[in-house]
Amino acid sequence: MAALSPVPATAELPESVRDKRRHPRVLVNRPCRLVQPKAAPTAGTIVDISAGGARVRLGRADALPQQLVLVDLTEGLAFEAEIAWRKDTEIGLKFLRRHDLKGLAPAHLLAAKTVWLRDREQPAAQLRPAEPPPSTLARPPAGPPPELPPARPSPAREAASALIQSWRGRLTEEN
In a domain, 139, yes or no: no
**16 vs 33, higher pLDDT:** 33
Amino acid, res. 16: S
In a domain, 137, yes or no: no
Domain extent for 48: 15-128
CA proximity to 33, closest of 3, 1, 75, 66: 75
Maximal C-alpha separation, the chain: 93
In a domain, 152, yes or no: no
In a domain, 168, yes or no: no
The tens digit of pLDDT for each residue in 76-134 reads: 999 999 999 999 899 999 999 999 999 888 899 999 999 999 988 764 544 443 334 44
Q: How many domains does the chain have?
A: 1
Cα 35–chain centre separation: 9
In a domain, 133, yes or no: no
pLDDT of amino acid 164: 80
- CATH, residue 100: 2.40.10.220
In a domain, 104, yes or no: yes
Please enumerate in sequence order all residues whose Cβ is within 8 A of that of 127, keeping only pairs 6 or more positions apart, or say none.
31, 43, 44, 45, 59
The tens digit of pLDDT for each residue in 49-61 reads: 999 999 999 988 7
The length of the chain, given as a count of residues = 175
Which of these ranges, 62-66, 116-120, 155-159, has the smallest mean pLDDT? 155-159
Q: Is pLDDT of 43 > 60?
A: yes
In a domain, 169, yes or no: no
In a domain, 163, yes or no: no
pLDDT of amino acid 142: 62
